[in-house]
Amino acid sequence: MKFAILINEGPYQHQATDTAFLFCKAALAKGHEIRRVFFYHDGVNNSSSLTEPPQDDRNIVQRWSKLAEEHKLDLVVCVAAALRRGIKDENLAPGFRISGLGQLVEAGIEADRLVTFGD
Amino acid sequence: MSEGTVKKFMFVNRKAPYGTIYALESLEVVLISAAFDQDVSLVFMDDGVFQLKKGQQTKGIENKNFSPTYRALDGYDIEKLYVEQESLDARGLTEDDLLVDVTVMSKAEMGKLMETMDVVLSF
Amino acid sequence: MLHIVNKSPLERNALESCLRVAQGGALLLTEDAVYAATRGNAAAEKITAAMAGMKVYVLGPDLDARGMTDRLIEGVTSVGYDGFVDLVAEYPTNQSWL
């Protein structure tokens, strides 16, 4: 089955992105396809390459990059939300791309299920 | 597959405007969805009904008043706006307080409507 | 449809609103919403009442993380992330009550 994921909150402040990540991992392990992960609202902060958590904490940004590399995931950051919050190509972590909100609607159309993670 | 596919999208608005950005950014998705020729419904319940309150004056808080956009939605062929009666009642509002034409429905009718959707986005 | 709630019922009205309008289907409690399905919580009765019309699940890892696993009320099924995925696949529509 094809899933699309919408993440509306940033890393560390809310559990939403952790839950989304673990959901994606479980879905992939079951042989499902993650059609796209779309980052909106403060969720765009999941893509900042400037993020530096303490050593003993999980690295949420790198974790997404790694999952994207391993499974060829399409991680899309909303351009309007990103520019509002200081996320640009120059500080975008590997595996992410910045694009328009149409990518969210398109993912909703093309996927069998869209699941939202937020606050 | 997306070529010609029409899905029933529902945007559920449960948060008040200005206190957080959700209402504004939700509206941005709604406007984009119009370009994809999908079957779009908007639901306003809980504090989301405050988004439609007439007479919003945002000058004093130095925020953009985005409430006129709700009136422009029919220009984008987005005409299905639903408001839950119980949410209005709990906030001392009636349909006359709202700045756009909506269909008011009961909690049970709202629940049944949600069941008929393909994609439900909640902000 | 599958209803997903992730907030404590004592902090937000998401659970209450969900139960008010939901017409059957399933309810999955995740993150801080898992407290709702624990013995002695003010919302536990609402969960028990809801079970008459819908299946109720909690995300086990969230219950474990909060030290509440042994307080889960009867009739609620604990699932892992794989069970979360199965629920989303099982129900044609889902809604996260944010």
Per the CB < 8 Å rule, is A115 touching C30? no
Q: Which residues of C touch B48 (CB under 8 A)?
A: none
Q: Which residues of C touch A22 (CB under 8 A)?
A: 61, 81
Which CATH number belongs to the domain containing residue A31 in this structure? 3.40.1260.10
- Sorted by sequence, the CB contacts under 8 Å of residue B33 that are 6+ apart come out as A105, B9, B11, B40, B78
Instruction: With cut-offs at 50, 70 and 90, classify the pLDDT of residue B3.
Output: low
Contact C65, C34 (CB under 8 A): no
Q: Which residues of B touch C93 (CB under 8 A)?
A: 114-115, 117-120
| Backbone φ and ψ of A60, nearest 5° | -65, -40
Straight-line distance from the first to the last Cα atom of chain A, in angstroms, rounded to the nearest whole number? 26
With 0-12 / 13-18 / 19 or more C-beta atoms within 10 angstroms meaning exposed / middle / buried, residue B77 is exposed
Overall average pLDDT of the C21-48 stretch: 98
What does the alpha-carbon distance between residue B79 and residue B42 come to, in Å, rounded to a whole number? 9
Of A19, A22, A115, the CB nearest to C88: A115
Task: Judge whether A109 is closer than 8 Å to chain B, CB to CB.
Answer: yes
Tokens of B96: 């006359």
Of C30, C59, C85, the CB nearest to A27: C85
Chains B, C: CB contacts within 8 A come to 43
Average pLDDT, chain B: 95
Give the position of tokens 């993912």: A107
Domains contained in chain C, CATH given: 2-96 (3.40.1260.10)
Instruction: With cut-offs at 50, 70 and 90, classify the pLDDT of residue C95.
Output: very high
Chain C's closest residue to A30, CA to CA, is C82
Q: What secondary structure letter does DSSP report for A92?
A: B
What was the pLDDT predicted at B4? 80
Q: What secondary structure letter does DSSP report for A49?
A: T
**The one-letter amino acid at A79:** V
Q: Catalytic residue among A4, A16, A78, A82, which?
A: A78
Q: Which residues of C touch B14 (CB under 8 A)?
A: 14, 17, 97-98
Overall average pLDDT of the C5-22 stretch: 98
Share of chain A above pLDDT 70, in %: 100
What does the alpha-carbon distance between residue C71 and residue C38 come to, in Å, rounded to a whole number? 5
Share of chain B above pLDDT 70, in %: 98
Per the CB < 8 Å rule, is B110 touching C21? yes
Chains A, C: CB contacts within 8 A come to 44
Domains contained in chain B, CATH given: 8-118 (3.40.1260.10)
Per the CB < 8 Å rule, is B121 touching A109? no
Total structural domains within chain A = 1
A78 annotated active-site: yes
| Residue A87, min C-alpha distance to chain C (Å) | 24
DSSP string, B20-74: SSHHHHHHHHHHHHHTTT-EEEEEE-GGGGGGGBTT---GGGT----THHHHHGG
Tokens of B38: 């999908």
Q: What is the pLDDT of residues A98-112, one digit of tens each?
A: 999 999 999 999 999
Per the CB < 8 Å rule, is C89 touching A15? no
Q: What is the pLDDT of residues B14-53, one digit of tens each?
A: 999 999 999 999 999 999 998 999 999 999 999 999 999 9
Could you list the residue range(s) of the whole structural domain that residue A51 is in?
2-117
Contact C2, C90 (CB under 8 A): yes
With 0-12 / 13-18 / 19 or more C-beta atoms within 10 angstroms meaning exposed / middle / buried, residue C86 is middle
Ramachandran class of A78: left when φ > 0, alpha when ψ lies in -120 to 50, beta otherwise: beta
Per the CB < 8 Å rule, is C95 touching B119? no
Q: What is the pLDDT of residues C54-91, one digit of tens each?
A: 999 999 999 999 999 999 999 999 999 999 999 999 99
What was the pLDDT predicted at C9? 98
Per the CB < 8 Å rule, is A1 touching C89? yes
Task: Judge whether B84 is closer than 8 Å to chain C, CB to CB.
Answer: yes
Tokens of B103: 């269909």
Q: Is the ipTM of this complex over 0.95?
A: yes
Task: Give the count of alpha carbons within 13 A of C84, CB side only.
Answer: 30
Contact A34, A5 (CB under 8 A): yes
H-helix segments, chain A: 16-29, 60-71, 79-84, 102-110
Per the CB < 8 Å rule, is C92 touching B110? no
- Sorted by sequence, the CB contacts under 8 Å of residue C9 that are 6+ apart come out as C15, C16, C33, C35, C36, C41, C42, C43, C46
Position B59 pLDDT exceeds 70: yes
Q: Which residues of C touch A113 (CB under 8 A)?
A: 88-89, 94
DSSP string, B59-109: GGGT----THHHHHGGGGT--EEEEEHHHHHHTT--GGGBSS--EEE-HHH
**The one-letter amino acid at C83:** G
Position B1 pLDDT exceeds 70: no
Q: What is the pLDDT of residues B102-118, one digit of tens each?
A: 999 999 999 999 999 99
Give the H/E segment covering residue C58.
strand C55-59
